[in-house]
Structure 1
Amino acid sequence: MLVVAPTLSAGLALDDVLMRVRLVGADTPWGDPAWWELYTFARPELNAELRDAGLHPWWSDLGVKMRFFRPLSAATHVLDYTLWPDRPGLHHGHSVLWYLLCVLAVRGVLRLASGVADEEVRERRANLGALIFAISAPHVTTVAWLAARNTLIAFVLGCGVIALHIHGRRQERGRGWWLAGAVVLTAIGLLASEAALGALAYVGAWQLCADEGPLRRRLAALVPYAGVVAVWRALYVRAGFGAANTGIYHDPSTDLPDFLRAVATNLPALFSCRWALVPVDGWVFAPSALHAAAAALGALLCLGLAAFAWPLLAGDRRARAWALGSTLALLPFAATMPMDRLVLFAGLGAAAVLVEVGTGLGDAGWVAETPARRRVGAALVVVHLIFAGPFGLLRALTLGPGMAMMRSGYAQAPRDEAVPEQTFVYVLGTFHRVHYTTLMRAAGGEAGVPRRAVVLSSMFQGATMYRVDADTLEVAPEGGFMAVDMDRIHRRDAAGLAVGDRVRLPELEIEILERTDDGRPSRAAFHFDRPLEDPSLRWLIVAPEAAGPLPFGAETQAFELPAIGATVVVEGVGP
């Protein structure tokens, strides 16, 4: 609990702000959605209005959909805003309590699933596994981001599913009742989050590796779970939930090849985060060219650890179940861009395997077969039991400044009397930083809310600006538009805008002039309906922070327009 305690002061960031806007009833293009729509981020019927207001980028696909049905998790946020709407520290305390339940659930599952007969030894091993899980650094962001609470809730319920299943499979009498309870709890978990599918990874791995009896009978036990998932998915899609036309969610049911490509890149990154504690939250800001290199390194790490652990996995069916379950638990999360918060479910199996590694170091078991294997085992224990705690605490203590990059636009953007009648034009920015500024001010009932906002190009790349005439500015970002994952959230087909295409927004029209080799727009002209110097247009830029401790430090500044016929090169925000 000490490791995640600093998250109490993390404040609101990103989707937390959108939740606040909806639950306090602020006037925005989102309207007044039902409380169970709390995890809706794009809907085709609203997208045009959201884009026109600057809440989606100008290059967004109007058919994009990011709509997730998580009523149980949404209800916990409704409770927060009913009891203490203006006390985000208490909202974070609520999430911290869910993390405490996660740790206790891990302890209970590891104790139940242990094959050790000695009660005292079983208790010690379960405590060790719970400790390894509790201090794992990647979990800090899951706790700190209020919008990620759905994963914590699904994990607690998922551990219940695993425990009921394992206990039920061991019973001679009343087995059906225990297994029925596990199936029902699976359905409840899916109402908290799609992340509950991670629990079924362990159920499947247990049946394949650890359960007894003929393989056909072991696999038959998975049929009720498959039935629940099939019914849930059918109802989910029929009700209009799911993701489509977005660059960060890859749905295997609608495009399996695309999902497999995402898994090939994202799974090794998540594996590195889980086993080597390598932070991957910066993945969304990195150019695509770096993703392949990171994935290759992650794959090498995966193969190396598999070779190291093979004697244990070959000789211990429970260890095989935990290792397989931990790996399979990453698959649902590989459908989106890698982030630290996505490895929580995999942490259960990782903790169980690390307990085996740690206890194996003290006896003449598998880990002592060679000096090299013993050194690797010792390194894993040091990383996950000695280094992880301080590293996790450091992550928690630095979350505030890190999350402030997206939140600082709220304080830095102009808020004088002219703002309500102005359009904020960011020559470099990011829709997260810009539109959450608008939403935070709207949620607070402030007057400093601009009429609308528009981001011309991403703040994560520098750009060349050419002033064509009195009302036109051409922009050519380094590497083209939509070069990083963060900028492809609202468009899956980055090559969907052709040369000559025009995008009409209030007060301006964007014309695509050139494209990159892979089909993304590389130069665009922004034709405004009035001279660029018109006082109704407020020109801004998100520039590198002059003197800040973070490599991605940024600050909102006034932008000086170039003279007609002049060119100016602006610097992006990056390390």
Structure 2
Amino acid sequence: MRPVSSVTHWLDFRIWPDHPWLMHVQSLLWFAGAIVAAALLYRRLLVPAWVAGLAALLFAIDDAHGMPVVWLANRNANIGVLFGLIALIAHDRWRRNGWRPGAFVAPLALLLGLLAGEIALAAGGYLLAYALFLDVDTWRGRLASLVPAGLVGSLWWVTYRVMGFGASGSGVYIDPGASPVEFVHAVIERAPMLFAGLWGIPSGLGHFLSQSAAHILWLVAVGLMVAVTILLLPILRRDRAARFFALGMVLSLVPACATFPDDRLLYFAGFGGMGLLAQFLSAVWQRVDWVPSSRIRRLPFTTASWVLVAFHLVLSPLSLATTSSRVRTFGEMVNRAASSLPSDPAVTDQVALIVNTPTAFISFYGPLLQALEGRPIPNRTLILGSGIYPTTISRPASNVIAIRPDGGFLAPPGSPRPGHEDSQAAFHPVYFFPMLDHLYRDATPFEVGDRIGYGGTVVEVVDVTENGRPVEVWFHFGVELEDPSLLWLQWQGGVYVPFELPAVGETVVLPEVYLPLW
């Protein structure tokens, strides 16, 4: 439910539909607005001014902003953060300076932020942190100050649920309202990785690791949480603004745990993180009273400060600058695959059947890009097999094809190829693809004999793993497989090529798929 963001995209296609660069300019303007709002709020909360300036600089060059800036579909994050920060500024002016319009401007800005994107939920965490640590009113007054925002948040949540928004059936996206226990488990699993992303370890690194390596990385992330907390304890004990930034940062991570860890989810959490980092760096550099006078005892603080400087003032802007090239590489890869799809007029009467692909996520783009370019598209497109390992395809009958990927369908992310467990690499880009397939399917188990009908095709599960993942699936068609209404394709070298059907009773094995990521 993002009507505010939707309006901005509607304007793109109404005013400059053939000029994507102007669409990117609009996203950049929203991003610039978020930076300005963050700088204004830092200036209100941090002294001296140069510390506020350092915090604003750290926030502006944070590589977590890369995707929201260059990916047009993620513009909602820029808008949601901007209005969320405006809500915090108005709230601070109301509570600190007695600016009465702030009592209305703050909840209004929060509402606009929520209608732009769910990321604005993080503003609620900062408002709570403000009431706990920065507001000087009585506890009753502090609680009352949260009522307007609470009403707005409750109204948004009820509307969100009544209108049917949310996630269902995904193994990656978790709806906190519909699956609270599962969400708590996700917070335990994902929050440490997101926290690590704020302090130097890419939060999405685990997607490219084997299962055992990902478990080790999680332990490293937990260790980093403990280390950062210990380093920051002195300033947290002494400074109310630091406690505000810290609690707001941590609470911002909670809604982000509803999906897989990625640095782009750290946009709002980064506001608190960069404010806290600026305070820590300034304290160490100025050797304030809590910084040990002994060089040896001071060494952990000085070492940490320069490591953080290297990550956030050197590596982070470099990573931010390369985001566009990474997105462009992905776009070129998807366009190359889509352009290989048949586009003669006859395909409009055919069903395209893709027997293997690295991930269904990639193949979904094909018909969409064909339609966008005005090319003929198949009547329907069915993805029969998805996975990075070899796929065995057999033909039990003239109208039946059997698909059996090595390791089964919906293999757990980072899982090894069966029979190659001892030689599995700890890091490999292809580990990312199974996670993408779990976007569209949760862990609800199948049983042998399960049948699903879809547009004249019957999908039958004939073998499953111990935990109910399909191992082999038969696809029953109402016509023989050679019927001209069926268009058979396979993935090969990053493009789609015709698939040669085996004869009845025969079997073919398609090799591991290749997808050029870099």
Q: TM-score, normalised by structure 2?
A: 0.87
What is the identity, as a one-letter code, of the residue corresponding to 1:298? A
Corresponding residue to 1:438 among 349, 361, 367: 367
| Residues 1:490 and 2:444 aligned together | no
| Residues 1:234 and 2:166 aligned together | no
Query: Unaligned stretches of 5+ in structure 1?
Result: 1-68, 546-553
Displacement after TM superposition at 1:287 (Å): 7.1
Local SS of the residue matching 2:476? strand
Displacement after TM superposition at 1:153 (Å): 0.3
Displacement after TM superposition at 1:127 (Å): 2.4
Displacement after TM superposition at 1:380 (Å): 0.5
| Residues 1:560 and 2:500 aligned together | yes
Structure of higher RCO (CA pairs closer than 8 Å, 6+ residues apart): 1
What is the identity, as a one-letter code, of the residue corresponding to 1:558? P
Work out whether residues 367 and 374 of structure 1, in 8 Å CA contact, stay in contact via their aligned partners in 2: no
Work out whether residues 208 and 219 of structure 1, in 8 Å CA contact, stay in contact via their aligned partners in 2: no
Work out whether residues 459 and 542 of structure 1, in 8 Å CA contact, stay in contact via their aligned partners in 2: no
What residue is the counterpart of 2:402 in the other structure? 474
| Residues 1:572 and 2:496 aligned together | no
Correspondence list, 1:116-127, <5 A: 116=47, 121-122=48-49, 124-127=50-53
What residue is the counterpart of 1:48 in the other structure? none
Aligned equivalents of 1:367, 1:280: Cα separation in 2: 33
| Residues 1:144 and 2:70 aligned together | yes
Q: Deviations over 1:14-60 (max 9, x none)?
A: xxxxxxxxxxxxxxxxxxxxxxxxxxxxxxxxxxxxxxxxxxxxxxx
Displacement after TM superposition at 1:223 (Å): 2.7
What residue is the counterpart of 1:56 in the other structure? none
Local SS of the residue matching 2:475? strand
| Residues 1:539 and 2:462 aligned together | no
What residue is the counterpart of 1:23 in the other structure? none
Displacement after TM superposition at 1:512 (Å): 0.3
Corresponding residue to 2:61 among 115, 135, 138: 135
| Residues 1:418 and 2:346 aligned together | yes
Local SS of the residue matching 1:420? helix
Local SS of the residue matching 1:428? coil
Q: Deviations over 1:372-413 (max 9, x none)?
A: 221012101111012211222123323210343344322122
Query: Unaligned stretches of 5+ in structure 2?
Result: 412-433
What residue is the counterpart of 1:378 in the other structure? 306
Work out whether residues 339 and 370 of structure 2, in 8 Å CA contact, stay in contact via their aligned partners in 1: no
Q: Which has the higher helix share?
A: 2
Work out whether residues 276 and 383 of structure 1, in 8 Å CA contact, stay in contact via their aligned partners in 2: yes
Aligned equivalents of 2:233, 2:132: Cα separation in 1: 17
Work out whether residues 155 and 345 of structure 1, in 8 Å CA contact, stay in contact via their aligned partners in 2: yes
Percent of paired sites with the same residue = 33
Corresponding residue to 1:177 among 92, 97, 101: 101
Q: Deviations over 1:498-522 (max 9, x none)?
A: 2101112234321101112222212
Displacement after TM superposition at 1:163 (Å): 0.9
What residue is the counterpart of 2:146 in the other structure? 222
Q: Deviations over 1:65-97 (max 9, x none)?
A: xxxx11111000010000111222221221111
Local SS of the residue matching 2:167? strand
Local SS of the residue matching 1:212? coil
* Distance of aligned partners of 1:367 and 1:98 in 2 relative to their CA distance in 1, 3 Å threshold: farther
Q: Deviations over 1:432-489 (max 9, x none)?
A: 3333221222233223x11211111214443222332333222222332223332233
Displacement after TM superposition at 1:417 (Å): 4.3
Local SS of the residue matching 2:385? strand
Aligned equivalents of 1:291, 1:222: Cα separation in 2: 39
What is the identity, as a one-letter code, of the residue corresponding to 1:426? I
Local SS of the residue matching 1:446? coil
Q: Select between 256-265 and 559-568 the one with higher mean Cα deviation.
A: 559-568
Work out whether residues 58 and 313 of structure 2, in 8 Å CA contact, stay in contact via their aligned partners in 1: yes
Local SS of the residue matching 1:337? coil
| Residues 1:312 and 2:235 aligned together | yes
What residue is the counterpart of 2:420 in the other structure? none
What residue is the counterpart of 1:245 in the other structure? 169
Aligned equivalents of 1:527, 1:150: Cα separation in 2: 42
What is the identity, as a one-letter code, of the residue corresponding to 1:375? T
| Residues 1:518 and 2:467 aligned together | yes
Local SS of the residue matching 1:572? coil
What residue is the counterpart of 1:202 in the other structure? 126
What residue is the counterpart of 1:154 in the other structure? 80
Q: TM-score, normalised by structure 1?
A: 0.79
Work out whether residues 110 and 149 of structure 2, in 8 Å CA contact, stay in contact via their aligned partners in 1: yes
* Distance of aligned partners of 1:408 and 1:292 in 2 relative to their CA distance in 1, 3 Å threshold: farther
Work out whether residues 482 and 494 of structure 1, in 8 Å CA contact, stay in contact via their aligned partners in 2: no
* Distance of aligned partners of 1:179 and 1:113 in 2 relative to their CA distance in 1, 3 Å threshold: farther
| Residues 1:83 and 2:15 aligned together | yes
Aligned equivalents of 1:291, 1:406: Cα separation in 2: 28
Correspondence list, 1:27-426, <5 A: 69-114=1-46, 116=47, 121-122=48-49, 124-171=50-97, 173-174=98-99, 176-278=100-202, 280=204, 283=207, 292-365=215-288, 366-367=290-291, 370-426=298-354
Work out whether residues 265 and 291 of structure 1, in 8 Å CA contact, stay in contact via their aligned partners in 2: no
Q: Select between 558-567 and 310-319 the one with higher mean Cα deviation.
A: 558-567
What is the identity, as a one-letter code, of the residue corresponding to 1:556? Y
What residue is the counterpart of 1:18 in the other structure? none
Aligned equivalents of 1:181, 1:417: Cα separation in 2: 55
Aligned equivalents of 1:468, 1:367: Cα separation in 2: 74
Aligned equivalents of 1:503, 1:569: Cα separation in 2: 25
Local SS of the residue matching 1:242? coil
Displacement after TM superposition at 1:573 (Å): 4.1
Displacement after TM superposition at 1:299 (Å): 2.0
* Distance of aligned partners of 1:573 and 1:300 in 2 relative to their CA distance in 1, 3 Å threshold: farther
Q: Select between 250-259 and 220-229 the one with higher mean Cα deviation.
A: 220-229
Displacement after TM superposition at 1:282 (Å): 7.6
Displacement after TM superposition at 1:137 (Å): 1.5
Work out whether residues 462 and 473 of structure 2, in 8 Å CA contact, stay in contact via their aligned partners in 1: yes
Q: Select between 309-318 and 465-474 the one with higher mean Cα deviation.
A: 465-474
After superposition, the CA RMSD in angstroms is: 2.4
What is the identity, as a one-letter code, of the residue corresponding to 1:488? H
Aligned equivalents of 1:96, 1:282: Cα separation in 2: 29
Q: Deviations over 1:237-272 (max 9, x none)?
A: 223333333333322222210110111122122222
What is the identity, as a one-letter code, of the residue corresponding to 1:468? P
Query: How many residue pairs get matched?
Result: 487
Aligned equivalents of 2:448, 2:210: Cα separation in 1: 23
Work out whether residues 193 and 203 of structure 2, in 8 Å CA contact, stay in contact via their aligned partners in 1: no
* Distance of aligned partners of 1:184 and 1:417 in 2 relative to their CA distance in 1, 3 Å threshold: closer
Q: Deviations over 1:117-164 (max 9, x none)?
A: xxxx41x22322222112111211111221111111010000101111
